[in-house]
């Protein structure tokens, strides 16, 4: 196994280097506002300087803000947060009033006056893409946000937004966070317009990202636990006892269990964990990929970082993806 060493990338309009693995905080103890200080200390010590959160992630922003203030790390940590998620009734909120309200709350909870990377959490196809571009440019111009982009927008809508930005001499969306990983997302796990670029049906989207060199911040990169090693390919009938409803809805299908089986096969061959094979696959794709990893076990984060340095041949990568 290669020595654990974090890799970093440069994202336009972010002054700090950005770790290729982001620590995802849509998990406990962060959601309930529990004591996550030691977990944050541990992953930061491993080189993970970028934290993924969102206005709808319970009390996660409050925990992060408390930690950054206590450790005096605001100028060293990259914060990615998200706004404009639909409300509990499903009402879409991609408008200036709601975006600014979300920013004000996030800023207060994170104890900071700026957010390094700010994403629109969902799309609203009923608004013009250019309207969203104008709002985010205004926040950037006020010094409130650095890089900005989207989560769960299709590549066609991002292209529409960026064409508007180009015509009007504005900053385009420079980062996107869709689902991406070895497993195919066969159904929307959470509802509300989740967008994936995984699987054979989304080749055109991946081609667009590759051609435009837009960083992909992949969420649910281990299929919400299906490829984490907790489930065995030979025990499909028991998967529902181990995985939650979102993982089962979004990723439980015969093709993904076969991908899991092949991960198990290569993991045994390379003397590493199943999750490391799945993570290694992500970082060896021809995309500018970063991955969000949410774990309450620091040792698992260490394994994910080590996976960045596991070699997969093109043939092995294709084999894992059923090609």
Residue 94, token pair as written in the block: 């991609």
Mean per-residue pLDDT, 115-144: 97
In a domain, 146, yes or no: yes
Residue 203 is assigned to a structural domain of this protein? yes
Q: How many domains are there within the chain?
A: 1
Distance CA 174, CA 147 (A): 7
CATH of residue 258 = 3.20.20.100
Q: 297 preceded by cis ω (within 30°)?
A: no
Place of tokens 């009033």: 97
> Is residue 43 pLDDT above 60, yes or no?
yes
Of 21, 115, 35, 104, nearest to 74 by C-alpha is 115
CA neighbor of 197 nearest in space, from 215, 216, 214 = 216
9-28 tens-digit pLDDT: 999 999 999 999 999 999 99
Residue 280: Cβ within 10 Å count: 26
pLDDT attached to residue 192: 77
* pLDDT tens string 49-89: 999 999 999 999 999 999 999 999 999 999 999 999 999 99
Q: Among residues of the chain, what percentage have pLDDT more than 90?
A: 95
Place of tokens 């440069």: 10
Would residue 151 count as lying in a domain?
A: yes
**Active site (annotated) includes residue 57:** yes
Task: State the pLDDT at residue 10.
Answer: 96
Q: Which of 59-63, 84-88, 298-302, 306-310 has the highest mean pLDDT?
A: 59-63
Q: Please tell me the distance from the alpha carbon of residue 54 to that of residue 120, in angstroms, as a whole number.
A: 10
Coil, helix or strand at residue 22: strand
Catalytic residue among 23, 44, 57, 164: 57
Beta strands in 37-163, from DSSP E residues, in sequence order? 50-52, 78-83, 115-120, 145-151
**What is the model's pLDDT at position 220?**
94
When pLDDT is averaged across residues 181-186 and rounded to a whole number, the result is 96
pLDDT class of 36 with cuts at 50, 70, 90: very high
User: How far, in Å, are 22, 187, 258 from residue 38 at the CA level?
Assistant: 16, 35, 37
What pLDDT shows up at residue 191? 81
Residues 207-232 as b or e (16 or more Cβ within 10 Å = b): ebbeeeebbbbbbbbbbbbbbbbebe
Structural domain of 225: 8-320
Cα–Cα distance, 57 to 215 (Å, whole number): 23
Q: What is the pLDDT of residue 2?
A: 47
- Flag the least confident range among 115-119, 145-149, 301-305: 301-305
Give me the mean pLDDT over the 109-117 stretch: 98
- Predicted confidence (pLDDT) at residue 121 exceeds the cutoff of 60: yes
pLDDT at residue 1 greater than cutoff 50? no
pLDDT (mean) for 166-187:
97
Alpha-carbon distances, residue 48 vs 18, 293, 301, 321 (angstroms): 8, 10, 9, 28
Q: Note whether residue 239 is domain-resident.
A: yes
Strand-pairing partners, residue 9, are 18
pLDDT in tens, 190-244: 887 899 999 999 999 999 999 999 999 999 999 999 999 999 999 899 999 999 9
In a domain, 3, yes or no: no
Determine the pLDDT at residue 3.
Answer: 55
Residue 2 lies in a domain: no
- Mean pLDDT (the chain) is 96
The answer to whether 293 and 305 have CB atoms below 8 angstroms apart is no
């Amino acid at each position: 196994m290669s020595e654990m060493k974090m890799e970093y990338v440069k994202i336009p309009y972010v002054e700090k280097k950005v770790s290729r693995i982001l620590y995802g905080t849509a998990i406990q103890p962060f959601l309930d506002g529990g004591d996550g200080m030691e977990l944050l200390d541990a992953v930061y010590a491993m080189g993970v300087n970028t934290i993924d959160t969102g206005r709808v992630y319970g009390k996660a922003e409050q925990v992060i803000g408390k930690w950054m203030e206590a450790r005096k790390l605001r100028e060293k940590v990259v914060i990615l947060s998200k706004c404009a998620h639909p409300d509990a009734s499903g009402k879409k909120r991609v408008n200036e009033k709601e975006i600014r309200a979300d920013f004000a709350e996030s800023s207060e909870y994170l104890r900071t006056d700026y957010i390094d990377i700010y994403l629109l959490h969902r799309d609203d196809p009923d608004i013009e893409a250019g309207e969203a571009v104008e709002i985010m440019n205004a926040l950037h111009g006020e010094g409130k946000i650095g890089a900005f982009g989207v989560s769960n927008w299709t590549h066609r809508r991002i292209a529409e937004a960026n064409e508007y930005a180009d015509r009007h001499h504005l900053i385009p969306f420079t980062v996107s966070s869709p689902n991406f990983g070895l497993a195919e997302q066969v159904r929307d796990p959470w509802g509300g317009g989740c967008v994936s670029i995984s699987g054979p049906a989304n080749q055109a989207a991946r081609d667009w990202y590759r051609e435009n060199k837009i960083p992909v911040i992949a969420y649910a990169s281990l299929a919400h636990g299906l490829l984490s090693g907790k489930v065995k390919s030979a025990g499909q009938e028991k998967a529902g006892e181990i995985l939650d409803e979102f993982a089962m809805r979004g990723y439980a299908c015969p093709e993904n269990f076969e991908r899991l089986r092949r991960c198990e096969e290569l993991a045994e061959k390379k003397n590493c964990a199943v999750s490391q094979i799945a993570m290694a696959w992500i970082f060896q794709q021809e995309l500018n990929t970063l991955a969000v990893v949410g774990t309450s076990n620091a040792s698992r984060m260490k394994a994910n970082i080590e996976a960045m340095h596991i070699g997969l041949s093109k043939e092995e990568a294709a084999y894992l993806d059923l090609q």
